[in-house]
Amino acid sequence: ASLFAAVEMAPRDPILGLNEQFNADPNPNKVNLGVGVYYDDNGKLPLLKCVAAAEKQMLEAPKARGYLPIDGIAAYDKAVQGLVFGADSGAVKAGRIATVQGLGGTGGLKVGADFLKKVDPNAKVLISDPSWENHRALFEAAGFPVATYPYYDAAKRGIDFEGMLAALEAASARTIVVLHACCHNPTGYDLTLEQWKQVIETVKTRNLVPFLDMAYQGFGEGIAEDGAVIGLFMDAGLDIFVSTSFSKSFSLYGERVGALSVVAASKEEAERVLSQLKRVIRTNYSNPPIHGAQVVATVLTTPELRKQWEQELAEMRVRIKQMRTTLVEKLQAAGIRQDMSFITQQKGMFSYSGLTKEQMQRLRSEFGVYGVDSGRICVAALNSKNIDYVVDAVAKVS
Ligand code: PMP
């Protein structure tokens, strides 16, 4: 028999499956709100001007492509640290943070997970309920048992904070807790700074290992505002893991630009951690690619380009917020009696709309409006041209 005779078909990725269905739909008015990407008001994936400018510079002085160091471009890793921990961070200055370039945020998470498996093979992992669907798969693939802590409270249209804290209180020491630093995917609900302080207190007293996934820095309230939670963990003296993604904030999805930062107790400890992170990378893909990270490093370290990036990121953030407000107003105007203002309290690209699975399915089959069965819609895929159609469709299934 063939070597693969007993190989089972892996389950389809639910979101990619939705995209295939969308592409095959002949409805000329169809709208894809199932995606996890930012589109501009013309429904197009943006190429940021700062990115094009950096690429132009790079093209004008073309360089040979040798191997990068295992941990990536040094200037890039340094720029990531500045962004995540702040330019004046004492831990950065003290050399207590090991940062490696990664293949997107996913790559950062995976390198962190593989490293943690070596450090503490018997640890358990807790992710939020619900969470980005790849968190569970990724940590399970790294060999960890993965359970959840309560997060979304459908009845309350918000966070089950008591449930979350209770789960953290009950976790055994050294449990790895995956937290969304900002713009929670899929719900859009973030903790307040007060709530974060309570989480940090619990993480500290229970001796848990916090792994902050920062895939949307700058999409919530601003670069510094969204990064503030990292500062709180640092102030508490905790050793944290932070994965960074520039897929959204630079609209560089396909370049796979991200990072992993691990905070250690001392410079000497950080050096040992870095050596092990490099081993994980070396045995997986040897060393990272150049292009995307060079673009990001160039933008972050060139003052005019950095300023332009901050403006372009702010434009994306403001447009999403505008879409949230407009959506709520138009739903109200369309006669939906239920208070939908929770949509404007959510942060980032996504919204748990509160629509049921049946409503989501009707939106798809009757109107060609594609969202996830959970009720998750991508607000960043709404625009001034498709919003009326979407609102009309939602009103008709409500
Ligand atoms: N974490 C979260 C919460 C995400 O939503 C995503 C991407 N949608 C990622 C990580 C992965 O990002 P990347 O595409 O950079 O690997």
Rounded to whole angstroms, the Cα distance separating 34 from 80 reads 29
Is the beta carbon of 112 within 6 A of some atom in ligand 1?
Answer: no
Question: From ligand 1's centre to the CA of 1, what distance in Å?
Answer: 39
Question: From ligand 1's centre to the CA of 338, what distance in Å?
Answer: 32
pLDDT at 17 (0 to 100) = 85
Task: Reply yes or no on whether the pLDDT at 116 is more than 90.
Answer: yes
pLDDT at 11 (0 to 100) = 86
Nearest to residue 123, comparing CAs of 197, 230, 211? Answer: 211
Question: From ligand 1's centre to the CA of 106, what distance in Å?
Answer: 6
Q: What are phi and psi of 33, to 5 degrees?
A: -105, 15
Question: From ligand 1's centre to the CA of 37, what distance in Å?
Answer: 10
Is the beta carbon of 160 within 6 A of some atom in ligand 1?
Answer: no
Token readout for 326 is 């407009």
Provide ipTM, 2 decimals.
0.99
| Ligand 1 probe mutation, 109, 135, 182, 185, most atoms within 8 A of CB | 185
Is the beta carbon of 102 within 6 A of some atom in ligand 1?
Answer: no
313's CB contacts (< 8 A; 6+ apart) are: 218, 219, 223, 249
Per the annotation, the verdict on 248 as an active-site residue is yes
The torsion angle over the Cα atoms of residues 128, 130, 132 and 137, rounded to 10 degrees, is: 80
pLDDT in tens, 38-66: 999 999 999 999 999 999 999 999 999 99
Is the beta carbon of 36 within 6 A of some atom in ligand 1?
Answer: yes
pLDDT at 92 (0 to 100) = 97
Token readout for 85 is 């921990």
Which of ligand 1's atoms lies nearest the C-alpha of 108?
A: 16
Which of ligand 1's atoms lies nearest the C-alpha of 103?
A: 16
> Assign residue 362 a region: left if phi > 0, alpha if psi is -120 to 50, beta otherwise?
alpha
Cβ pair 210, 203 in contact under 8 A: yes
Nearest to residue 150, comparing CAs of 183, 212, 199, 113? Answer: 199
Task: Reply yes or no on whether the pLDDT at 389 is more than 90.
Answer: yes
